[in-house]
A and B are shown apart, each in its own frame.
Chain A
Amino acid sequence: MTFQEIVLELQDFWSKQGCAVVQPYDLEKGAGTFNPATFFGALTSAPARYAYIEPCRRPADGRYGENPNRLGKYYQFQVIMKPVPAGITDTYQKSLKAIGLDPKKHDLRWIEDDWESPTLGASGVGWEVWLDGMEITQFTYFQQMGSMPLSPVSVELTYGLERIAMYLQNKNSVYDLDYGGGLTYGDLHKPQERELSRYSFETADVALLSRHFNEWEAEGVRLAGFGDPIPAYDCVVRASHLFNTLEARGAISVTERAHYIGRIRNLARKVMELYIEKNTPKEPAAAK
């Protein structure tokens, strides 16, 4: 099964489970959770069912294309469902079968792993799912966003596509994966890994990134003032990626780090509150 076939199978599978298959968001981000389908989708009481592939950038994980298991830019396949359908763990197991991983033939284990995103003030309870010892999915019941308890709770499934593909194709290097269309994953990604690693670790302009961080943060606050959470949220996503790049570049000390995270979290909270306020149906005022 090629890389793209795995993605297509998962899209098909979750589409049949009633999910809207949406597209990746058009900004740089570190995790599929930043896609508004999940970020905003988890916030209100309205039902949410989405599935999508999301390219993720983790500047600090770049290895110049030399490490067969680590990438500075890779893909996640993400599913979010709210309310949580009954038997979701069974459904997930079926999705594995759909991509050629029959749980009956493998050792499938659920290992405690609670997820946390300090920049979003978000946390959840859940597992890493291990297939024969390899982590293939992060399975999380969201509990909080912007440090506020969520109700109803959403479940988020994040498939590690490259690992699953390496397993299925019996490859020891991510770059040898058969992507589909006659290409390897390396054909598509190796040059980018090399150059982006150099950017993240060596050539990124720290002064410019710091300035942009400050500007996007300020812009986010300004936009929130107009009562439109969506453009303000874009500022959160941008600031968050700028922070990740600055950190990979070694430009943030331990004490500064907490400060940067706090600033993003504050903005994210503002955006969340605004979104909830705007999207919660108003109760008609009680008659006096």
Chain B
Amino acid sequence: MAKKIKQNDFLLDIHTEPFPARFVPPALDQLKLNAAKWLAGKIDHGDIAVSGTLRHLVLTVKGVAAKGNDKTERFKGPKVGAPAPALEGFARKYGLDPAALIPDNGVLYAEVHTKGESASALFSAMIPELMKSLQFPKFMTWEESGFKFGRPLRAITAMLGDKVVPVTVAGVKSGRSVHGHPVLAKQPVLLKDPAKHAAVLRQGLVIADPAERREYLLKCLAQATKSTGGVTEPDEALIDETVFMVEHPVPVLGKLRDAHMVLPAELLKLVMKKQLKFFPVVTKDGLLHPFFVGVRDGLSSGNELVREGYQRVLEARFNDAAFFVGRDSASTLASKLPQLERVTYQKALGSMAQKAARVESIAAWIGERLRQTAHVDEQAVARAAKLVYADLVTDVVKEFPELQGHMGGVYARKDGESEKVALAVEQFYFPVAAKSPAPTTAEGAVVSLSGKLDSLAGCFAAGMIPTGSADPYALRRQALGAVRIVLEKQLPLDLDAAIAHAISLQPVAVPEPAKLAAQLSEFVWGRAQSLFEEMNFAVDEVRSIQSGALSNLPNAFLRLAALRAVRRDPAFEPLAAAFKRASNILKQAKISDSAPPERALLRDQADYDLYDALVAAEGSANDRIVRGDFEGGLKTLVSVKPHLDQFFEKVMVMVDDEALKKQRLALLSKLVRAFRRVADLSEIQASAS
């Protein structure tokens, strides 16, 4: 019999004191996920959706059935034929007659049918559990029951259709009142229809939907800056934060005073963004414009007072910043260096002054290694290396640690250091993020790399080695930075040797320096490996060039590119298989290295053909590889394939004739070594076809 089922929409609005912006998006995700999990199988329903602000977490469930699903449960009882009292006792427990027990495989079961609960009862039960299930970055308590939540609960609006779903959480009783903006909304509105919830909030100056609020904010920002000819600086993080810091964004445009525009632009922007959550206005070219937009929560009228307030606060902050810059500028960077002796880097690794000395020494070492191959101004490197940490004792960097390096560059220019030196100091911490740029100059690259190598070597020497996901000193980031610098600046530098050198400079006793260096090289290689994989090189390709990769990373990249290009050749994979066979034979014969084969001591035509082809290919490949043409070199080597196939087809390597066996092994060994200059093909996995 078809029964018309009455459906209702469910609404839950958890109204709290203001959450920190970062709490809200994860809470909304969990609210949706956990509600779906909780309801699954218990009751039929339609779409589940969430929205919210810093004061509201809102959940809606469409098309909820009037009753929960009926349920049948089976409970295992005594064996068939058990004594009557036992049967009766078991049956009574489930309100059944012993005759109603169901035999199955020699055991009796009680089958209990439960009628579905009313939707309202189900949701009453769900709300407290759902609220308890939300994980916040930090919990708090505020009232007698000790309920833990991200912020104190103010009200719960819970409705199913036009009825309130009764529930009490942390002393707050659910109801139908909806609370708009805490300052601007009039009295709470009594909601009759859950579908009107968003509209009621909107009237109370709360835009509940984050996507809508974001769009509105962006429109507001664009409008506000129109008259200035500039735009707000694109800053996704600040936009995301603002979306969850205000319920009804209203832009207020303010002006910077000319007197402040002489301060470093990065400092001005940081003061605006970090200290006041204002959006700096920039020109189309990204230059700072003397304007900002503050986002007010609430009304778009009467903003003159708010603008004055914003400007006054900004003024005070800029005055502070100017005061710091003035104090910092009273003496040169170089004259601040002795102060680094009083700044501890790491307890085991000494002061920042000691670290600076090591960085200077590593930079000089690298400069010397690159003297023949790269154009590096060693004097500029030495000067920059001396100054890189001086800005750590400036007032501006103490106040804004994010400006380390940047302020060093600003002050270096003020002190009359050369632009090369100033830029190297400014970009010392580059790349600051996975995708952000590496230092632009060779000098900057060398100094920045030296800093990273020293940090890595120091932490490894002091036993602060990252394990699993724990990496408190961000060594993975440092290693990735080092790899990127060497690759992007095309430095033909032996990183293995540089690592060993950096370890030798550390002020801690290292019992087995070679072992530690190998461990650190492997760690750094791990970053190179994932970087290459991010560039879409296959795992087996990266593995095949691993040998010797760190001793020349730019070449390692070229070898990879060559491999990928040549791999497209249909002859390549069979060659790789034949190559693997050759390597295995050598492995079994325990040959790692051998004297070169002698043609005269070989015997069959297939021997001679392979020998001749290999000698020719090797010579020509070598010319190409020396010129950096790894692809050409590899292609030339691949041309021996038919001869290698013939060789394996026609002759046996492991023959009884010891002298001949030795020569054939030597021939294979020559082949393997020739290829390994580009890649170890035995690592190549046949692609599934």
Most buried by B among A111, A112, A153, A255: A112
394-423 of chain B: CB within 8 A of chain A: none
Closest-by-CB residue of A relative to B307 is A132
Cβ A133 vs Cβ B140 within 8 A:
no
Closest-by-CB residue of B relative to A141 is B142
Cβ B309 vs Cβ A143 within 8 A:
no
Does B648 count as interface, using CB distance less than 8 angstroms? no
- Residues of A contacting B99 in the complex (Cβ-Cβ under 8 angstroms): none
A69-B316, A108-B183, A133-B276 known; A141-B140 Cβ under 8 A: yes
104-144 of chain A: CB within 8 A of chain B: 104-112, 114, 125, 127, 131-134, 141, 143
Does A83 count as interface, using CB distance less than 8 angstroms? yes
- Residues of B contacting A134 in the complex (Cβ-Cβ under 8 angstroms): 309, 312-313
Distance (Å) between the CB of A271 and the closest chain B CB? Answer: 24
Cβ B182 vs Cβ A90 within 8 A:
yes
Does B245 count as interface, using CB distance less than 8 angstroms? yes
A132-B309, A254-B344 known; A153-B297 Cβ under 8 A: no
Find B313's partner among A93, A110, A132, A152 (CB 8 Å cutoff). A132
Closest-by-CB residue of A relative to B144 is A152
Cβ B141 vs Cβ A151 within 8 A:
yes
- Residues of A contacting B323 in the complex (Cβ-Cβ under 8 angstroms): 67
- Residues of B contacting A108 in the complex (Cβ-Cβ under 8 angstroms): 183, 297
Cβ A109 vs Cβ B182 within 8 A:
no
- Residues of B contacting A99 in the complex (Cβ-Cβ under 8 angstroms): none
Complex formed: what's the CA distance from A109 to B53 in Å?
A: 13
Closest-by-CB residue of A relative to B150 is A125
Cβ B294 vs Cβ A133 within 8 A:
yes
Does B320 count as interface, using CB distance less than 8 angstroms? yes
- Residues of B contacting A69 in the complex (Cβ-Cβ under 8 angstroms): 316, 319-320
Distance (Å) between the CB of B137 and the closest chain A CB? Answer: 10
178-223 of chain A: CB within 8 A of chain B: none
A84-B143, A133-B294, A143-B141 known; A112-B20 Cβ under 8 A: yes
- Residues of A contacting B276 in the complex (Cβ-Cβ under 8 angstroms): 133
Cβ A104 vs Cβ B142 within 8 A:
no
Complex formed: what's the CA distance from A104 to B301 in Å?
A: 10
Does A103 count as interface, using CB distance less than 8 angstroms? yes
Interface bits B130-154 vs A (CB < 8 Å: 1, else 0): 0000000010111110100001101
Does B298 count as interface, using CB distance less than 8 angstroms? yes
Cβ A132 vs Cβ B344 within 8 A:
no
Cβ B18 vs Cβ A114 within 8 A:
no
Distance (Å) between the CB of B140 and the closest chain A CB? Answer: 4
Find A83's partner among B144, B184, B297, B305 (CB 8 Å cutoff). B144
Interface bits A152-175 vs B (CB < 8 Å: 1, else 0): 110100000000000100001000
- Residues of A contacting B54 in the complex (Cβ-Cβ under 8 angstroms): 110
Complex formed: what's the CA distance from A83 to B142 in Å?
A: 8
Find A107's partner among B138, B306, B312 (CB 8 Å cutoff). B306
Cβ B310 vs Cβ A133 within 8 A:
yes
Cβ A104 vs Cβ B316 within 8 A:
no
Find B143's partner among A67, A103, A153 (CB 8 Å cutoff). A153
Cβ B313 vs Cβ A107 within 8 A:
no
Does B670 count as interface, using CB distance less than 8 angstroms? no
- Residues of A contacting B143 in the complex (Cβ-Cβ under 8 angstroms): 83-84, 152-153
Cβ B18 vs Cβ A110 within 8 A:
yes
Closest-by-CB residue of B relative to A90 is B182
Cβ A93 vs Cβ B182 within 8 A:
yes
Complex formed: what's the CA distance from A103 to B183 in Å?
A: 7
Complex formed: what's the CA distance from A106 to B308 in Å?
A: 10
- Residues of A contacting B138 in the complex (Cβ-Cβ under 8 angstroms): 114, 125
- Residues of B contacting A106 in the complex (Cβ-Cβ under 8 angstroms): 305-306, 309
Does B545 count as interface, using CB distance less than 8 angstroms? no
Cβ A105 vs Cβ B302 within 8 A:
yes
Interface bits B272-309 vs A (CB < 8 Å: 1, else 0): 00001010000000000000001011110010011011
Complex formed: what's the CA distance from A153 to B314 in Å?
A: 35
Distance (Å) between the CB of A201 and the closest chain B CB? Answer: 14
- Residues of B contacting A83 in the complex (Cβ-Cβ under 8 angstroms): 143-144
Chain B count of residues within 8 A CB distance of the other chain: 45
Complex formed: what's the CA distance from A155 to B141 in Å?
A: 11
Does B97 count as interface, using CB distance less than 8 angstroms? no
Cβ A133 vs Cβ B152 within 8 A:
no
Closest-by-CB residue of B relative to A254 is B344
A107-B306, A112-B20, A133-B309 known; A93-B183 Cβ under 8 A: yes
Cβ A89 vs Cβ B182 within 8 A:
yes
Interface bits B3-34 vs A (CB < 8 Å: 1, else 0): 00000000000000110111000000000000
Complex formed: what's the CA distance from A101 to B144 in Å?
A: 32
Interface bits B167-194 vs A (CB < 8 Å: 1, else 0): 0000000000000001110000000000
- Residues of B contacting A167 in the complex (Cβ-Cβ under 8 angstroms): 309, 312
Complex formed: what's the CA distance from A287 to B355 in Å?
A: 69
Complex formed: what's the CA distance from A167 to B305 in Å?
A: 11
- Residues of A contacting B309 in the complex (Cβ-Cβ under 8 angstroms): 106-107, 131-134, 167
Closest-by-CB residue of B relative to A129 is B18
Closest-by-CB residue of A relative to B140 is A125
- Residues of A contacting B184 in the complex (Cβ-Cβ under 8 angstroms): 104
Cβ A151 vs Cβ B146 within 8 A:
yes
Find B294's partner among A67, A68, A107 (CB 8 Å cutoff). A107
Most buried by A among B54, B183, B305: B183
- Residues of A contacting B313 in the complex (Cβ-Cβ under 8 angstroms): 132-134
Closest-by-CB residue of A relative to B171 is A86
Closest-by-CB residue of B relative to A131 is B309
Distance (Å) between the CB of B542 and the closest chain A CB? Answer: 43
Closest-by-CB residue of B relative to A139 is B17
A93-B182, A152-B143 known; A132-B17 Cβ under 8 A: no
Find B140's partner among A68, A90, A143 (CB 8 Å cutoff). A143
Complex formed: what's the CA distance from A83 to B294 in Å?
A: 36
- Residues of A contacting B347 in the complex (Cβ-Cβ under 8 angstroms): 255
Interface bits A61-72 vs B (CB < 8 Å: 1, else 0): 000000111000
Complex formed: what's the CA distance from A125 to B141 in Å?
A: 9
Distance (Å) between the CB of B291 and the closest chain A CB? Answer: 15
Distance (Å) between the CB of A284 and the closest chain B CB? Answer: 23
Distance (Å) between the CB of B476 and the closest chain A CB? Answer: 27
Find B298's partner among A107, A153, A172 (CB 8 Å cutoff). A107
Find A109's partner among B141, B297, B319 (CB 8 Å cutoff). B297
Cβ B17 vs Cβ A84 within 8 A:
no
Cβ B302 vs Cβ A109 within 8 A:
no
Cβ A133 vs Cβ B305 within 8 A:
no
- Residues of A contacting B314 in the complex (Cβ-Cβ under 8 angstroms): 133
- Residues of A contacting B302 in the complex (Cβ-Cβ under 8 angstroms): 105
- Residues of A contacting B146 in the complex (Cβ-Cβ under 8 angstroms): 151
A69-B316, A167-B309 known; A107-B296 Cβ under 8 A: yes
Closest-by-CB residue of A relative to B184 is A104
312-349 of chain B: CB within 8 A of chain A: 312-316, 319-320, 323, 344, 347
228-243 of chain A: CB within 8 A of chain B: none
- Residues of B contacting A107 in the complex (Cβ-Cβ under 8 angstroms): 252, 294, 296-298, 306, 309-310
Most buried by A among B144, B252, B308: B144
Complex formed: what's the CA distance from A81 to B138 in Å?
A: 22
Cβ B344 vs Cβ A89 within 8 A:
no
Closest-by-CB residue of A relative to B343 is A254
Given contacts A69-B320, A125-B138, A133-B314, 13 further A-B contacts (CB under 8 A): A68-B316, A69-B316, A89-B182, A104-B299, A107-B310, A108-B183, A108-B297, A110-B17, A112-B22, A114-B138, A133-B278, A133-B310, A143-B140
Sample 16 A-B pairs with CB under 8 A, ordered by A number. Answer: A93-B182, A103-B183, A104-B183, A105-B306, A107-B294, A107-B306, A110-B18, A112-B20, A132-B312, A133-B276, A133-B294, A134-B312, A151-B141, A151-B144, A152-B144, A153-B141
Q: Which 5 A-B pairs have the closest CB atoms?
A: A132-B309, A112-B20, A110-B18, A133-B313, A107-B296
